[in-house]
């Protein structure tokens, strides 16, 4: 909604003294508006009043925890308490599932990774189709260097994760940064290096993916999928000759690849025009 419409709606709520209401539903609606406007402190007050009148309202406790989390580290303890309260309410419903997922995100943001994994696991136990929690656990696996496990998890929910692209880029990017800074060792196998490269590509870090990908094809130069990825990465880096070479190696290993043939034909057209690729070429493994 526009700022004008939000302002008008707020005036209406305030004209009926919504903040002093004893109606939990009205207080929750009012808090939604306040949160939309970024007034999380006032939203917290409205929601505290709502849960005082309805102690078993999981949705209200969830919204309270989320409003408190939005206030930053100063209210982190309150947010955790509220989200735990929401998650504990029976019977389990969409709000309790989301409470566990929000708890996981809060723990992960605070560096409490074991608690985060546990909370995400509870969300999945209640809702096996909860994509956000599955993606978050996959990012935790990547952070710990379990690249194959993480990659398989992303692959398994790929068709359901289209709407989560920004979330994947953000959480996976942070996880891969943490892995790099931790200086953990990655098992020196083609499978691990290829999985690492694929995760870097998912996180939008194509240039960074080149080196683990190079190691992958060096350890196993018969993997046409790895050569295809190498071709795509080099093409994105404007390394057109190297890209063509990688695609050609893939095609030599598996001739039944129409899209790879098309990529090579397209590269041939581009390379036939002098000066189209000005970037210094990186040697292909």
Query: What integer pLDDT is reported at residue 137 of this predicted model?
Result: 97
Query: What integer pLDDT is reported at residue 192 of this predicted model?
Result: 98
pLDDT tens track, the chain, 285 positions? 689 999 999 999 999 999 999 999 999 999 999 999 999 999 999 999 999 999 999 999 999 999 999 999 999 999 999 999 999 999 999 999 999 999 999 999 999 999 999 999 999 999 999 999 999 999 999 999 999 999 999 998 866 556 788 888 889 999 999 999 998 889 999 999 999 999 999 998 999 999 999 999 999 999 999 999 999 999 999 999 999 999 999 999 999 999 999 999 999 999 998 654 444 456 666
Query: What integer pLDDT is reported at residue 274 of this predicted model?
Result: 67
HEC secondary structure over 90-152 = CCCCHHHHHHHHHHHHHHHHCCCHHHHHHHHHHHHHHCCCCHHHHHHHHHHHHHCCCHHHHHH
Query: What integer pLDDT is reported at residue 278 of this predicted model?
Result: 46
Query: What integer pLDDT is reported at residue 215 of this predicted model?
Result: 97
Q: Which runs of consecutive H residues, i.e. helices, occur in 220-272?
A: 224-236, 240-253, 258-271
* Residue 31 burial by Cβ neighbours in a 10 Å radius (0-12, 13-18, 19+): buried
Measure the CA–CA gap between 192 and 144, rounded to whole angstroms. Answer: 13
pLDDT digits (tens, 9 = 90+) for 70-114: 999 999 999 999 999 999 999 999 999 999 999 999 999 999 999
Query: What integer pLDDT is reported at residue 166 of this predicted model?
Result: 84
């Amino acid at each position: 909604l526009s700022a004008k419409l939000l302002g008008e709606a707020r005036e209406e709520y305030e004209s009926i003294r919504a903040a002093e209401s004893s109606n939990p539903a009205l207080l929750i609606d009012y808090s939604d508006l306040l949160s939309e406007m970024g007034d999380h402190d006032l939203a917290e007050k409205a929601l505290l009043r709502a849960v005082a009148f309805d102690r078993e309202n999981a949705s209200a406790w969830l919204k309270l925890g989320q409003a408190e989390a939005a206030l930053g580290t100063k209210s982190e303890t309150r947010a955790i308490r509220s989200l735990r309260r929401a998650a504990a309410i029976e019977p389990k419903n969409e709000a309790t599932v989301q409470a566990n997922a929000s708890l996981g995100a809060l723990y992960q943001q605070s560096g409490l990774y074991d608690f985060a994994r546990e909370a995400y696991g509870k969300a999945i136990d209640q809702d096996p189709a909860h994509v956000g929690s599955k993606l978050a656990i996959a990012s935790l696996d990547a952070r710990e260097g379990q690249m194959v496990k993480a990659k398989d998890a992303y692959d398994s929910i790929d068709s359901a994760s289209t709407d989560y692209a920004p979330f994947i880029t953000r959480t996976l990017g942070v996880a891969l940064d943490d892995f790099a800074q931790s200086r953990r060792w990655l098992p020196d196998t083609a499978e691990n290096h290829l999985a690492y490269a694929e995760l870097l590509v998912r996180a939008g870090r194509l240039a960074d993916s080149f080196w683990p990908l190079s190691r992958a094809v060096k350890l196993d130069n018969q993997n046409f999928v790895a050569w295809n990825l190498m071709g795509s990465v080099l093409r994105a880096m404007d390394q057109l000759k190297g890209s063509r070479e990688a695609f050609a190696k893939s095609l030599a290993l598996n001739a039944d690849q129409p899209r790879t043939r098309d990529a090579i034909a397209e590269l041939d057209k581009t390379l036939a025009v002098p000066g189209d690729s000005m970037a210094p070429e990186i040697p292909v493994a």
